[in-house]
Amino acid sequence: MSLGLGCHPFTVVASAEPQDITPHRVHEKDRPSDDRRTGMTASYETIRTRLDGTVLSATFDAPPMNLIGPEVVRDLVALFEDVSHPAAPKVVIFDSADPDFFLPHVDMTKVPEYTAEAAKAGGPGDASLGMLFRKLSRLPAVTVAKLRGRARGAGSEFLLACDMRFASRENALLGQPEVGIGAPPGAGAIQHLTRLMGRGRALEAVLTSSDFDADLAERYGWINRAVPDAELDEFVAAIAARISGFPRDALIAAKSAINAVSLPSPAEVRADAALFQQLVRGEKVQQRTAELFEQGFQTRGATELDLGDALSRLAPGAAGP
């Protein structure tokens, strides 16, 4: 498929061949010295990376279903640090090795553990996914999300923190299920969706906890475009190649200027995170998640595939009055 986007006229990495980085955990004490050609310093346990010129592909691969737990958050903290290097790739494409699940939501059994890992990106005062994802929005690289499968809760909020979002028309679902479980979103959805959709549509997305397919998400502004699945890879690759051919200083300056207009302030992000963390540990959330776990929550099955419907079937009394 020709999109008329062209390709970049030059590359600045030593090798023109794509470079595979085998996924494994690298502890700080084992971390190799910086690679001055690319700015990348480590490989990761739950993210497979592939470097092609100045475009980095980062593929989530955390079986059984890419839940956002401490391992994924630890790798994101390390990846964001690596992409902040002055010689790092100009464009990062995020996608998933799992066709059914991009990032379905957080691991509800490991909230304290993944929160502790998120704190390593900014300190104890910023121990939240919201502040980690704000760092994603401010990276000195252009971040492009290529969505196949389900991105709900913090998975959707990760997408919203990226600079652009493109989704498979046939195989993408987005949702914010938090209110259906018993808490408001806490990692950026309230801030981003209100800015992107307007008040009414943001309230619809958040308060109904429904699943949105790619066509409706595009119409509402949740994503940039819904693209036929057979064309999605080429479409995103063409956009990344075009952007990566432009001067880095211009890319960073333009992104910074748009961020100054559109990003929520740290205080707004922290307030949402504090409210989420307060309520997610409460009795009502525990009751509703217990009922979901009885139905197969956090396993590959009907409950996770159709979580929006599963939430509507929870007993109203499970959350009290």
Say what the pLDDT of residue 42 is. Answer: 56
**Spatial CB neighbours of 243, under 8 Å, sequence gap ≥ 6:** 90, 91, 142, 251
Cis preceding-peptide flag for 64 (omega within 30 of 0): yes
What angle is formed at CA 108 by the lines to CA 155 and CA 294, rounded to 5 degrees? 115
Q: Which of 179-188, 193-202, 312-321 has the lowest mean pLDDT?
A: 312-321
Dist CA 65 CA 12 (whole Å)? 35
Residue-wise pLDDT for 68-91, tens only, equals 999 999 999 999 999 998 889 999
Number of other residues whose CB lies within 10 A of the CB of residue 266: 14
The three-class DSSP label of residue 19 is strand
Q: What integer is the mean pLDDT of 149-177?
A: 98
pLDDT of residue 10: 23
44: pLDDT strictly greater than 70: yes
- Kindly tell me if the per-residue pLDDT of 321 is higher than 70: no
d(CA 182, CA 321): 12
Distance between CA atoms of 145 and 166, rounded to whole angstroms? 6
Bridge partners, 225 (sequence order): 166
Query: Quick one: CA torsion of 219, 224, 228, 232, rounded to 10 degrees?
Result: -170
Confidence check: pLDDT of 125 > 90 = no
pTM of the complete model: 0.86
3-state DSSP helix/strand/coil % of the chain, to nearest 5: 45, 15, 35
Residue 149: which pLDDT band, with cuts at 50, 70 and 90? very high
**Token pair in block for residue 313:** 């079937």
133: pLDDT strictly greater than 70: yes
192 closest CA partner among 167, 214, 160: 160
* Mean pLDDT score across all residues of the chain: 87
Span 221-244, mean pLDDT? 98
Using an 8 Å Cβ cutoff, are 174 and 223 in contact?
yes
pLDDT of residue 41: 45
Query: Which pLDDT value is given to residue 281?
Result: 85
